[in-house]
Amino acid sequence: MQWIIVTGDSRGLGKEITLQILSETQYGVIGISRSDVNETSDIISNYPGRYIHLVYDLANSKEIKNLYINQIKKIGPIYGLVNNSAFAYDDIVSNLNNKLLDQMFQVNVYSPMNLTKYVIRDMLLNKVQGSIVHISSVSAHTGYKGLSMYAATKGALEAFSINVAREWGEKGIRSNCIVPGFMETTMNASLNLEQKQRIYRRTSMKKETSVNSVASTALFLLLEQSVSITGTVIHVDNGTL
């Protein structure tokens, strides 16, 4: 079994990525989120032996080592990682709250970096030429009021990904970023219709980004067909202007 780690797998984009990976029979998915297993029970029942859900709060990046050694490593060689989980603290910078800012960097930057560290070590140990996919945000490329701090975490993730690609490409380990536009997910549930329409008007297609399209791009970057793609940032955002 070729195991792929997907963070934030219990809902929204992460769940769709998980399901699309599982549609490829050579893969198994190790899902990581703080959600109870009950939220992923349907996937567990539909894909017995190919889907494992680990309950872990990625706001605690310092224990990623123990998570890897005590749970992930015992499952089998890792062939891919999708750093999808994210915490959005939305506010203007003059209202910066250090506690929330630290939590956002823990989930969006420090934990993805630590997971990448142990996944790369696992790939080297097992001589795997694997793929790492980071889910960024369109806010790292165009300004939105109240998202400067969130965008900073995604910009950091993109810079990290490009340099990881340079460091490990010779070993056949790839690293890429996907930049989704605004999607109809729980993360954006607090936006009202007027706010959403204002965001969608900034895109060429004047509508929300398809979750399915973003997930399909993530799957493609994990597959052998994308073996020559690394160090890149792919926008799946309906042509945000």
Q: Is the pTM of this model over 0.75?
A: yes
DSSP secondary structure string for all residues of 2-51: EEEEEESTTSHHHHHHHHHHHTSTTEEEEEEESS-GGGGHHHHHHSTTTE
What residues contact residue 145 under an 8 Å CB cut-off, 6+ apart?
Answer: 92
Query: What b/e sequence results for 98-137 when a residue is b if at least 16 CB atoms lie within 10 Å of its CB, and e otherwise?
Result: eeebeebbbbbbbbbbbbbebbbebbeeeebebbbbbbbb
Burial class (CB in 10 A: 0-12, 13-18, 19+), 199: middle
Per-residue pLDDT, 145: 86
Surface-to-core class of residue 54, CB atoms within 10 Å of its CB (0-12 exposed, 13-18 middle, 19+ buried): middle
Pairing of strands 78-83, 27-33: unpaired
Q: Are 206 and 233 in contact (CB under 8 A)?
A: no
Take residue 70 and report the two structure tokens written for it. 């005590």
Q: Is the dihedral of CA 185, 232, 111, 154 positive or negative?
A: negative
CATH number of 2-236: 3.40.50.720
Per-residue confidence (pLDDT) for residue 205, from 0 to 100: 84
pLDDT number for residue 235: 97
Q: What is the Cα–Cα distance from 241 to 239, expressed in whole angstroms? A: 6
Residue 133, token pair as written in the block: 């996919």
C-alpha–C-alpha distance, residues 210 and 67, integer Å: 32
pLDDT score for 143: 84
- The candidate with the shortest Cα–Cα distance to 223, out of 25, 88, 49, is 25
Q: Which two tokens stand for residue 144?
A: 């939105």
Residues of the chain with pLDDT under 70: 185-194, 196
The strand order across the sheet containing 174-180 reads 51-55, 27-33, 2-7, 78-83, 131-135, 174-180, 233-236
Q: Could you give the CA distance from residue 218 to residue 81 in angstroms, rounded to a whole number? A: 10
pLDDT in tens, 104-123: 999 999 999 999 999 999 99
Please give the mean pLDDT across all residues of the chain: 93
Instruction: Name the phi and psi angles at 236, rounded to 5.
Output: -125, 80
Per-residue pLDDT at 182? 85
Contact criterion met (CB below 8 Å) for 159 and 144: no
Assigned token pair, 79: 């062939």
What is the domain partition of the chain in residue ranges? Answer: 2-236
What are 168-196's pLDDT values in tens digits? Answer: 999 999 999 999 998 876 656 666 666 76
